[in-house]
Chains A and B, each alone.
Chain A
Amino acid sequence: MNNKANKRKMHLNSLRELGILLAFIVVLLTLMVLSPRAFARPANLINIMKQASINGILAMGMMYVIISGGIDLSVGSIVALSGVIAASFAHPGEYPLIVPVVLSVVAGICAGFLNGVGVAYGDIPPFIVTLGSMIIIRGLALIYSKGQPIFGVTKLFENIAGGFFLKSIPHLVVYFSVITVIAAFILTKTVFGRRVYAVGGNEVSAKVSGINVPRIKIAVYTISGFMAGIAGLLLASRIVSGNPTAGESYELDAIAAVIIGGVSMSGGSGKWYGTVIGALFIAVIGNGLDILNVSSHFQLLIKGAIIITAVLLDTKGKRNQ
């Protein structure tokens, strides 16, 4: 009796996980049917992955934070700060390529680390900590660049994001894939990953189980900052400049990807592949609707509706549990 009920529950669980994948496939197929020439072309599909990659990288970091029970609003600003730092060290004939790469990523790590310290030891809600740091870091990016975009970067720098692997696959897609594999591995296979879930699932029980909760929190915000640092570097390379106003509202897209992917905002649950699908979903909608000539204004309506529907499915599913 009991076993049967259990079995059915487990079945429902996996169905719910499948739900968003099914929705994604339906949308994908619909777009392919509506626009077989333009949308379904292999080149366009690769293009979608490229469009998904920067948001996808941010979403990978955001996923860690949200699973731990937090939120990181500062990633968009970190993208800008990291970008202007990268561009400023990428002028021809000044520094080797490694300097802008390392400095921009380190800037992201530092920002994330400070977020983590604030959340872990400051006893301030993550929303507030990262809202504050979002504004501060945006300010830092503007001060650093004197409010102006930084142009004049080397070809080598431009090639970081603009190049192709084996002449066909954009570098961005390669980075996104590699980062996803590593992030997924750490989340699912390591002690650390398990502890992130434990902290988000029940902080008190995590502490009682001997987990150093503040350390885990600092780590997840540092990871998110690290990802944002990389994203900032890649964005600067792609737009061939460092722009202090870049990355605005990127945090919202990253959060959207994570949520669409089925990660619970209250923490403790969620799967890495959900986040990947979430990031791809957002890119597919943008790309597909562009091809179908739907105005970008209407695209916003559709994007918002999808986010709400995803969460609706999630909470409904939970209530039925």
Chain B
Amino acid sequence: MTVDTASGAATPDVPVLKVAVLSFAHTHAASYVAQLRDRRDVELLTADPDAATAPAGELRGREFADRHGAPYVATYEEALAWGPDAVIVCAENARHRDVVLAAAGAGAHVLCEKPLATRVADAEAMVAACDAAGVVLMTAYPVRFSPEFQTLRALAEAGTLGTVLGATGTNNGKVPAGRAWFTDPDLAGGGALVDHVVHVADLLDALLGEDAVAVRAVTNRILHGDDPQVRAETGGLVSITYAGGAEVTVDCSWSMPDDGPTWGGLTLQVVGTGGIVEVDPFGAHVGGLVDGGARPAWLGFGENLDALMLEHFLGCVRTGEVPGPDGRTGLRTLRVVAAAQESVAAGGAVVRLTADPVG
């Protein structure tokens, strides 16, 4: 008797998909490569042509591919000429647009890292291009697939939460290290506001099924204020009003100290007339002290959310089904971020959003 230890169910009915990971700029690329490399229903190719623009010392390009055991080509053109069924775009935020448009032009389905873009107009162009090409566009919001959020959603859908009054979301993490572009506003589109508001905004988008109608934000740069590499806001509080009246505040700060026991986390506490439900999808861990007591332990044992998200994406690629967080979700949540940035630029004024037919 044999056992089957590879993931992914490739059978004569489920043909192998060709998937290209485009760019290693985003640190999640390592996770995606590891997942896809080990699936028997996926053939993997990678390309990272912008590797040369990264600062010295960042593992990128062919070296990264070799380290992670992934086949590699030097250019996006070669990767797309290979005829991938799908691509995963892990480029710097500001470069998403060009890569996604090229992939759509080649007829590949797209999973794009979040935020979908750094400008609303870019995201609109990406949604339009994928629509025109008839390909799936999904935004990489893995927390959506956590069992904790699914429980919250089920309780809301069952009516247990009652009318939602509002919510408090937190997405706090260490200041991104190892990839300098995350704290470069030109490539990232901003700082903590851009990095961390979208995840919570995605969960609320799924939970409420409503547009944000007003956004107000304040930020500061006290955390890592003396680090010349960090050229964007590191602390932020964003107030969001949804169309149905729910009042939300999001703390998006990079407030996990560098020496913290884990990268950070995300929590969402939703208050309804039926009660309170609070989820902490990254909270499952074994704690303690290690290294002779010098260091707190954090042994996370939650689900691999990237794997759950990839499973969903590949399913959508096979069936043409619209993904859970699609391009329009990415666009709507980016509008919240753009409004927050506009609010900050206006000294904390409230920014009203009007519904857009594309979103």
**Chain B binds chain A:** no
Q: Contact residues of B with A, CB < 8 Å?
A: none
A residues whose Cβ falls under 8 Å from a Cβ of B:
none
